[in-house]
Chain A
């Protein structure tokens, strides 16, 4: 291999992804916005929109405050049946952009477990992330997270973030 792999950076990113998904899957949604920098951008779109260069997103946030608002709405305003996710990440490709920033592309699948016990493959796709390597308190944070769903179809509703 011509270029030595930056193992420390790889582990930093994978650790961020692991903590992020455990927070969501453990229903600790209040912690979710803190994985992002204050001026973060977070979007969920479909592969179809992405490939056609169309801007529409299912979720579109251009600040951490908007993420906190979403958690607040999910907890106190929106109505949906009790459900949990189980995220599985793989294929995390990390490239360093500069001293402070990295780019990561990863694959994911999400099983959705309804309170009734019904478990389905709810979503699959890839994430394209821009990561601040040493964010607040020296911990890696997302500057930008683009979640691209493989399918254009979403079953019933997408409440909990991906």
Chain B
């Protein structure tokens, strides 16, 4: 029995306070699965480039619910729950492959690529003995089908009929910024997963926190790569849960706002012995060197110079999150561009010069708030507004996240 009384009322300050129980409460976690991931949201499922041919499938997740995404015989994308109608076993165990039919290994019930149950092994028994009665309804517990929608090669799915059309859900500015990166056919470069020792929302919150980037990620600041004094901005779109932040590097005027504030991140000066690490090409042609875009509840699109990736947030339990990274280039990349992207892959992922700290920092929060469930984080940079801003010294997109979250959860 817990002696701590569960008071799940949101603080009166509304969006400038986030109570720590949202990262800790297992009941809240279960509710999120139903109301958010299986509710009226579009969940990122992967790149269309992962499923180029009819019969290709991949396994993925809608929150913690396993799903299968396929390309059927007609070339249509399909997605459905990865659960057999019979006893609930996983239908697809491999992460990817190419098949004509999907057969459950447990009792060999068989499905088409759209997730329709097509046959039940020994349904009529053998030699008139055994089998199911004629009145049986083996499809009554069929895997649930997702609606699937794509934009510029990105696949999203939703279980709900009430989720608005994808582009409306994203918002026009997010759509434009997605198309900006996904402007020509992509090729897969590979992937990996980073396990975060914290609640999934702490990761999403971190991605939407434009204020932390140059303060936590010192690699940026030490090389004067991304400083908040550089030109850029943040745009909040949709119901608040979607945002994009962007920077135009090389516009830093070498001012001394960091030095004069005596901040740790400005101290010292590192010099690269292999400065080719920073070689980059303005391949989109608009001078934007860094763009981070996130869509509630599970999607991040990243352009850090020429390092391009999608990241899928998969909650594993209340205090563990898997971040599935998939990196890509464009199909028309030449060898020189391939080499450039590979060198820039050093920026990202669990060993990335400018992203390795995220797992540590969000884990520090999960550990730090143990015993403080009725306290709250303070999110007042930029006031209490949710609006696009030319400054990234703001927490506007973090407040946007919590507005969307509270809307879905009814909190």
Residues of A whose CB lies within 8 Å of any CB of B are 44-46, 48-49, 52, 54-63, 65-66, 68-70, 72-73, 76-81, 152-159
- CB atoms of A49 and B191 under 8 A apart: yes
Q: Are B338 and A156 in contact (CB under 8 A)?
A: no
Contact pick for A45, options B190, B193, B194, B196, CB 8 Å = B190
**Which residue numbers of B lie inside 8 Å of A, CB to CB?**
95, 188-197, 216, 218-219, 222, 268, 270, 272-274, 277, 322, 327, 338, 342-343, 345-346, 349-353, 356-357, 359-361, 363
Q: Is the CB of B350 within 8 A of A63?
A: no
Given A62-B343, A73-B219, A80-B360, CB of A56 within 8 Å of CB of B273: no
Known: A65-B274, A73-B219, A154-B350. Contact between A60 and B342, CB under 8 A? Answer: yes
Report the separation of the CA atoms of residues A72 and B357 in the bound assembly, to the nearest whole angstrom. Answer: 16
Partner of A157, one of B189, B270, B274, B357: B357
Q: Which residues of chain B have C-beta atoms less than 8 A from A77's C-beta?
A: 218-219, 222, 270, 353
With both beta carbons as reference points, the residue of chain B lying nearest to A155 in the complex is identified as: B195
In Å, the complex CA distance between A68 and B271 comes to: 11
Would you mind naming 19 contact pairs between A and B with Cβ atoms under 8 Å apart? A49-B192, A52-B190, A55-B189, A55-B342, A56-B189, A56-B191, A57-B345, A60-B342, A63-B274, A68-B273, A77-B219, A77-B270, A78-B218, A78-B219, A79-B357, A80-B356, A81-B360, A152-B193, A156-B195
What number of residue pairs across chains A and B have CB atoms under 8 A from each other? Answer: 124
Cβ contacts under 8 Å, B359 to chain A: 156-157
Residues from chain B with a CB closer than 8 A to the CB of A58 are: 192, 345, 349-352
Q: Report whether A157 and B342 are in contact in the complex, using a CB–CB cutoff of 8 Å.
A: no
Q: List residues of chain A with CB within 8 A of the CB of B192.
A: 46, 48-49, 56, 58, 152-154
Which residue of chain B has its CB nearest to the CB of A160?
B351
Residue of A nearest to B222 (CB): A77
Q: How close is B336's CB to chain A, nearest CB, in angstroms?
A: 13
Please, which residues of chain B bring their CB within 8 A of the CB of A59?
A: 346, 351
Query: Chain B residues with Cβ under 8 A from A158's Cβ?
Result: 350-351, 356
Min CB gap B270→A, angstroms:
6
Chain B nearest CB: distance from A24 CB in Å?
14
CB of A80 within 8 A of CB of B193, answer no
Q: How far, in Å, is A101 (CB) from chain B's closest CB?
A: 23
Judge whether A78 and B353 touch: CB under 8 Å. yes
